[in-house]
């Protein structure tokens, strides 16, 4: 087994390598003067089971192209099996036609990864579970809930917990976390989105008065939805609000928005490389997912069950 990483999230790749007790394969990923990407692998990978670790976060197109070119280089170097390990799968929010003459970009990216030569894909908390069906190769979708529930129980076990979904679409995710928290009660924030990147909270489904609310979501980008939801929960009588989100995209003024919100804390995983503003924020904390991803890689290589990680 060999591990190789692009430039998308080198600290996470190194942490995964440390967990599985293997060094990262030596490779060069550099650019020509016109920003064209060039990859050269400096170790023999013939007949090897190779895992390419790359989050396709900002800059999404550069990181995606790096991964595709690395996969192509491995295929042409006669690697036995190539697994794309994509902690954060970019373009996942474009998983359906949102309007007339719009693309389904998640399907396009799935096709690109498959055609490049990947034999299987491993990702974390895909935005929509049906994206697994966009691939014509085996796809494992890991869940961040075990990591989050362990942190919640360690820090807030004495609180009167209630799990809250920030929208109707995230109810299944919230219910799964609530089940892990000794069947904590569930509430839903009903919102109306007028345009992309903006949301307006309408009302709270469920009684949150006197409750310590745990907001759960897969992606936080502008943070508008989470901050509006936190404000609405506090107005409805919640004692405190903490948000747990797998992928901290946090673009534009998201960090400042979190700092000025009713959120006590925003907890994200390190699936995306943290920016300086995220690292400097006193309201944002990162959870490591290297043990989760590393164990899934180990089980994939050993041909043992990955799903049992979540039993």
Catalytic residues: 191
Alpha carbon of residue 108 to chain centroid: 19
CA dihedral angle for residue 257, residue 260, residue 262, residue 268, rounded to 10 degrees: 50
| 95 annotated to a ligand binding site | no
| 72 annotated to a ligand binding site | no
| 221 annotated to a ligand binding site | yes
Q: CA 12 → CA 8, 46, 279, 286, 293, distances in Å?
A: 9, 25, 15, 12, 10
| 217 annotated to a ligand binding site | yes
Long-range CB contact pairs, 15-23, < 8 A, 24+: 15/270, 15/288, 15/290, 15/294, 16/53, 16/85, 16/290, 16/293, 16/294, 16/297, 18/290, 19/290, 19/291, 19/294, 19/295, 20/294, 20/297, 20/298
| 54 annotated to a ligand binding site | no
| 34 annotated to a ligand binding site | yes
| 117 annotated to a ligand binding site | no
- Is the peptide bond prior to 35 cis by the omega test (within 30 degrees of 0)? no
Residue 63, helix vs strand vs coil = helix
| 167 annotated to a ligand binding site | yes
Nearest to 199 by CA among 174, 226, 172, 171: 226
| 14 annotated to a ligand binding site | no
Annotated binding site: 34-36, 93-94, 127, 167, 193, 217, 221-225
- What residues form the annotated binding site for Mg(2+)? 127, 167
Binding residue numbers for D-ribose 5-phosphate:
193, 217, 221-225
Binding-site residues for ATP, in ranges, read 34-36, 93-94
């Amino acid at each position: 087994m060999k591990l190789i990483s692009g430039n998308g999230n080198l600290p996470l790749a190194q942490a995964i390598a440390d967990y599985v007790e293997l060094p990262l394969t030596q490779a060069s990923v550099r650019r020509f003067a016109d920003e064209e990407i060039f990859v050269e692998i400096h170790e023999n990978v013939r007949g090897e089971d190779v895992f390419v670790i790359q989050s396709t976060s900002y800059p999404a197109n550069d990181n995606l192209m790096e991964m595709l070119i690395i996969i192509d280089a491995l295929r042409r170097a006669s690697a036995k099996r190539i697994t794309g390990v994509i902690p954060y799968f970019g373009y996942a929010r474009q998983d359906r036609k949102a309007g007339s003459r719009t693309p389904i970009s998640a399907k396009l990216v799935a096709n690109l990864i498959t055609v490049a030569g990947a034999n299987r894909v491993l990702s974390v908390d895909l935005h929509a579970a049906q994206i697994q069906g966009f691939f014509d190769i085996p796809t494992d979708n890991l869940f961040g809930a075990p990591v989050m529930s362990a942190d919640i129980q360690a820090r807030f076990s004495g609180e009167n917990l209630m799990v809250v979904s920030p929208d109707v679409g995230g109810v299944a995710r919230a219910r799964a976390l609530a089940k892990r928290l000794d069947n904590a009660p569930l509430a839903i924030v009903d919102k109306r989105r007028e345009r992309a990147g903006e949301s307006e909270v309408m009302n709270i489904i469920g009684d949150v008065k006197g409750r310590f609310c745990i907001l759960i979501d897969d992606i936080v980008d502008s943070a508008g939805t989470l901050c509006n939801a936190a404000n609405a929960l506090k107005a409805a009588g919640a004692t405190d609000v903490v948000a747990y989100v797998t992928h901290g995209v946090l673009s534009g003024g998201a960090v400042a928005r979190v700092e000025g919100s009713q959120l006590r804390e925003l907890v994200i995983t390190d699936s995306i490389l943290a920016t300086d503003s995220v690292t400097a924020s006193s309201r944002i904390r990162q959870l490591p997912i290297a043990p989760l991803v590393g164990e899934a890689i180990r089980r994939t290589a050993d041909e043992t069950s990955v799903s049992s990680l979540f039993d």
